[in-house]
């Protein structure tokens, strides 16, 4: 499972500027005093940005009148603007002490507290300002922004609505209200506020960016792209807008454009951790794992507690096969965020690849404690339970497969109910194939058991399997996928049959053969092979499965289960053996190996079954041909990857599903040499026996 962090917060809420007008006189600046003239001149400098000149005049006033509240306040504002927060705090506090009823002073004091991280103190100041002047927009807005920082969104929205009502033409007020509404999960209302903000101030880049965020929240990606582009037209160096545009383009599937946007964000803000993380996600989707890892590491270097980047790094390392490092990343992410369910699941997946099934089960259970309805958690728990032989519990959890994204689209929504093992005598049961050819070959055996319970069984299967499955005992009709279905009363997906029958390790139906090759075809191949092969052991070979490039996860599994045909050399050196390719597609064996290849003549699995029936042994990686050989009752040696499929169970060399199958499993990930050396030794012994 993959979590993509989107940095779509936009610009922080803006404060209303503090009051720049003088309060009624305080101190001793009476009639004839130069203070009013000096104050007016100072304010002109202040508004023009000439802060040094303004401060000089404010301090001249304070030499005349030490208690002049406005001058104290305004010197404090200048100190605050220059980052001299302690001086700002001291001066504004003196102003408040001399004129405690000036609401704007309390607002300014609150701003200083905010910048020093003292949010509770700031809120107290803002509340005092609101009490003194309920109609002061700056007070309402500042209070709303402060309580929003604490996550108190209902109160924030109330304050910010009052600020908007007091200043309906103020763009900042609409923008800040929009931010609060978006954070409270009201993207449509937020978008309306951001639109009002840009109506008040068309060049308000942050509001355009925030509008894009609200549109993206609603799934209106095209509108979001338009808003981000508008923000960037107004402010080309707006790194957050570049980053957000990258996320929108990623949502559209435009990886190159997304990459360009993230790189643009980083060109303007090289220390932008979120952009590094998002760039890493693009690299990972493109299969550029080294670059993805580098991006995630850079994000973490910039922000050590960046949990999402640590999680994403773990996923990339797992794809690279660096499983120990991936485990460390997931565990670190979980220390920082114990309720991170996706990290628990992917930690479990990584541990399962390391054959640490008990630990994996613990991870899935922990994830489900956080979110009991998490389909990935249930499905992966089911896989781990099945792999360690806990079949009864495993089948139940495996039923969650229809709720995970890559399976949900294949779910058949028939009006007839699904059969779950209840009495079925006298009823018509449709069993429909799912997933791969191998799955169908393994689990079609249950159709015979259903027929034995009195059901009329109709089997729906992919075209390459139809003719072979018609040899299955008890099946009334085999229908090709896509053809019109006859009437039926109940249905069952094929891999739900073990659950319906309550299958345990002791009750696996393992009688073989249960499928049969056509006798006429078998005889024809017998005659041909006598001429082709001559004396010696006849062995069929399969070295690669379907690459399944349409799904990254499945393609990665195929990369671990398949091997290059040239690696079969240790087997092909065994004397007294004639080898036959059973590889229907994929890389061909080198011509120098002398492997007989007649697979071009095979139109379906029934054709292949007739050829296999004439062989003494099949040696195969984990593909449909291994299941075919097992279903035909032929000896089959399975070349198995380290992270074996659940169906072969953990810690076994035999299979309760196929009495004639022997497992040769990698002792460590990727170690085909050890597997092939053992197989070659056993083959040599068989050939001379």
Q: Tell me: the pLDDT tens digits for 557-587? A: 878 999 999 999 999 989 999 999 999 888 8
Q: What is the pTM of this model?
A: 0.85
CA atoms within 13 A on the CB side of 39: 24
Same domain? 553 vs 650: yes
Mean per-residue pLDDT of the chain: 91
Structural tokens at position 6: 């989107």
Residue 599 located in a structural domain: yes
Q: Tell me: the pLDDT tens digits for 27-71? A: 445 556 899 999 999 899 999 999 999 999 989 999 999 999 999
pLDDT reading at 10 higher than 80? no
pLDDT reading at 415 higher than 60? yes
pLDDT reading at 385 higher than 80? yes
- The mean pLDDT value for 175-183 works out to 95
pLDDT reading at 12 higher than 90? no
Residue 544 located in a structural domain: yes
Same domain? 556 vs 614: yes
The pairing of strands 617-621 and 636-640 is: parallel
- The mean pLDDT value for 247-267 works out to 96
| Secondary structure of residue 620 in the 3-state scheme | strand
Residue 656 located in a structural domain: yes
pLDDT reading at 503 higher than 60? yes
Instruction: State the pLDDT at residue 5.
Output: 30
Q: What is the band of 554 on the pLDDT scale with cuts at 50, 70, 90?
A: confident
Instruction: State the pLDDT at residue 2.
Output: 28
Which of the residue ranges 152-156, 323-327, 531-535, 670-674 would you say has the lowest mean pLDDT?
531-535
Residue 571, C-beta contacts closer than 8 angstroms, at least 6 positions apart: 539, 541, 577, 579, 619, 676, 679, 680, 683
Instruction: State the pLDDT at residue 531.
Output: 78
Rounded distance between C-alpha atoms, residue 631 and residue 342, angstroms: 38
Instruction: State the pLDDT at residue 639.
Output: 97
Paired strand residues for 57: none
Residue 330, C-beta contacts closer than 8 angstroms, at least 6 positions apart: 311, 314, 343, 344, 346, 347, 350
Q: How many CB atoms sit inside 10 A of residue 654's CB?
A: 13
The count of residues in the chain is 689
Burial class (CB in 10 A: 0-12, 13-18, 19+), 98: buried
- The mean pLDDT value for 297-326 works out to 96
pLDDT reading at 439 higher than 90? yes
| Secondary structure of residue 431 in the 3-state scheme | strand
Same domain? 489 vs 547: no
Residue 451 located in a structural domain: yes
Structural tokens at position 629: 């050989």
How many domains are there within the chain? 3
Same domain? 398 vs 525: no
Instruction: State the pLDDT at residue 1.
Output: 31
Same domain? 433 vs 387: no
Residue 610 located in a structural domain: yes
Q: Tell me: the pLDDT tens digits for 190-243? A: 999 999 999 999 999 999 999 999 999 999 999 999 999 999 999 999 999 999
- Rounded to a whole number of angstroms, the CA Rg of the chain reads 36
Q: How many CB atoms sit inside 10 A of residue 594's CB?
A: 10
CATH at residue 642: 3.40.50.2000
Which of the residue ranges 60-69, 263-272, 404-413 would you say has the lowest mean pLDDT?
404-413
Residue 248 located in a structural domain: no
Same domain? 655 vs 582: yes
Rounded distance between C-alpha atoms, residue 518 and residue 613, angstroms: 9
Rounded distance between C-alpha atoms, residue 414 and residue 381, angstroms: 27
Percent of the chain with pLDDT over 70: 95
Rounded distance between C-alpha atoms, residue 631 and residue 510, angstroms: 9
Same domain? 556 vs 472: no
pLDDT reading at 284 higher than 70? yes
Same domain? 473 vs 566: no
Which of the residue ranges 84-93, 195-204, 453-462, 605-614 would you say has the lowest mean pLDDT?
84-93
Same domain? 540 vs 592: yes
Nearest to 338 by CA among 350, 346, 330: 330
Nearest to 389 by CA among 657, 661, 659: 657
CATH at residue 362: 1.25.40.10
| In the block, residue with structure tokens 């195969």 | 620
Rounded distance between C-alpha atoms, residue 593 and residue 209, angstroms: 63
Structural tokens at position 211: 């509008």
- The mean pLDDT value for 673-686 works out to 96
Same domain? 537 vs 473: no
Note down the domain range covering 375: 338-408
Residue 422 located in a structural domain: no
Q: What is the band of 615 on the pLDDT scale with cuts at 50, 70, 90?
A: very high
Rounded distance between C-alpha atoms, residue 475 and residue 470, angstroms: 7
Residue 262 located in a structural domain: no
Residue 53 near residue 188 (C-beta atoms within 8 A)? no
> Of 410 and 290, which is predicted with more confidence?
290
Same domain? 597 vs 558: yes
Same domain? 678 vs 573: yes
């Amino acid at each position: 499972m993959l979590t993509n962090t989107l940095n779509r917060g936009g610009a922080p809420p803006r404060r209303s500027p503090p009051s720049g007008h003088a309060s009624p006189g305080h101190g001793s600046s009476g009639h004839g005093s130069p203070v009013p003239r000096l104050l007016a001149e100072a304010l002109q400098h202040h508004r023009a940005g000439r802060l040094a000149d303004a401060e000089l005049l404010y301090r001249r006033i304070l030499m005349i009148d030490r208690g002049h509240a406005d001058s104290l306040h305004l010197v404090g504002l200048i100190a605050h603007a220059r980052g001299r927060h302690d001086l700002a705090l001291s001066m504004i506090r003196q102003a408040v002490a001399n004129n405690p009823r000036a609401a704007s002073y309390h607002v300014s004091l609150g701003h200083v507290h905010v910048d020093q991280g003292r949010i509770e103190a700031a809120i107290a100041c803002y509340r005092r300002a609101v009490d003194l002047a309920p109609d002061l927009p700056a007070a309402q807005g500042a209070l709303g922004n402060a309580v929003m920082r604490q996550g108190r969104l209902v109160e924030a929205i109330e304050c910010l609505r009052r600020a908007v009502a007091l200043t309906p033409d103020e763009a900042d007020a609409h923008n800040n209200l929009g931010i609060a509404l978006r954070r409270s999960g009201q993207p449509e209302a937020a978008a309306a506020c951001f639109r009002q903000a840009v109506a008040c101030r068309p060049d308000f880049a942050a509001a355009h960016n925030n509008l894009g965020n609200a549109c993206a929240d609603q799934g209106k990606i095209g509108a979001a792209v338009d808003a981000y582009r508008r923000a960037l037209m107004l402010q080309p160096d707006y790194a957050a807008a570049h980053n957000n545009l990258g996320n929108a383009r990623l949502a559209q599937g435009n990886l190159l454009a997304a990459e360009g946007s993230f790189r643009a964000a980083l060109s303007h803000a090289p220390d932008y951790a979120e952009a590094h993380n998002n760039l890493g996600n693009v690299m990972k989707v493109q299969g550029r794992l080294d670059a993805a890892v580098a991006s995630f590491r850079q994000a973490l270097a910039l922000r050590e507690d960046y949990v999402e980047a640590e999680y994403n790094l773990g996923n990339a390392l797992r794809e690279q096969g660096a499983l120990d490092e991936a485990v460390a990343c997931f565990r670190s992410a979980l220390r920082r965020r114990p309720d991170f369910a996706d990290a628990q699941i992917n930690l479990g997946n990584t541990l399962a690849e390391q054959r640490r099934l008990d630990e994996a089960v613990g991870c899935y259970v922990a994830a489900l404690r956080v979110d009991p309805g998490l389909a990935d958690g249930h499905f992966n728990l089911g896989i781990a339970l099945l792999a360690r032989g806990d079949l009864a519990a495993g089948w139940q959890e495996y039923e969650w497969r229809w709720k995970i994204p890559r399976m949900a689209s294949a779910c058949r929504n028939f009006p007839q109910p699904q059969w779950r093992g209840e009495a079925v005598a006298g009823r018509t049961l449709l069993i429909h194939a799912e997933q791969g050819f191998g799955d169908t070959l393994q689990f079609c055996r249950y159709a015979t058991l259903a027929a034995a319970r009195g059901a009329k069984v109709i089997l729906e299967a992919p075209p390459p399997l139809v003719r072979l499955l018609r040899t299955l005992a008890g099946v009334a009709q085999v229908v090709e996928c896509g053809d019109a279905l006859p009437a039926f009363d109940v249905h069952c997906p094929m891999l739900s049959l073990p659950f319906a029958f309550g299958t345990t390790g002791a009750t696996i139906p393992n009688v073989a053969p249960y499928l049969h090759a056509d006798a006429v075809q078998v005889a024809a191949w017998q005659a041909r092979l006598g001429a082709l092969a001559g004396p010696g052991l006849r062995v069929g070979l399969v070295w690669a499965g379907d690459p399944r490039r349409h799904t990254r996860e499945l393609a990665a599994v195929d990369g671990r289960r398949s091997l290059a045909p040239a690696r079969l050399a240790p087997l092909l050196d065994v004397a007294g053996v004639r080898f036959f390719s059973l590889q229907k597609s994929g890389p061909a064996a080198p011509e120098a190996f002398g492997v007989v290849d007649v697979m071009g003549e095979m139109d379906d699995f029934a054709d292949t079954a007739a050829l296999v029936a004439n062989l003494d042994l099949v040696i195969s990686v984990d593909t449909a041909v291994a299941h075919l050989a097992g279903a035909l009752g032929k000896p089959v040696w399975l070349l198995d990857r380290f992270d074996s499929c659940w169906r072969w169970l953990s810690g076994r060399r035999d299979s309760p599903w196929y009495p004639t199958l022997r497992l040769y499993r990698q002792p460590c990930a990727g170690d085909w040499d050890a597997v092939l050396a053992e197989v070659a030794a056993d083959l040599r012994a068989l050939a001379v026996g």
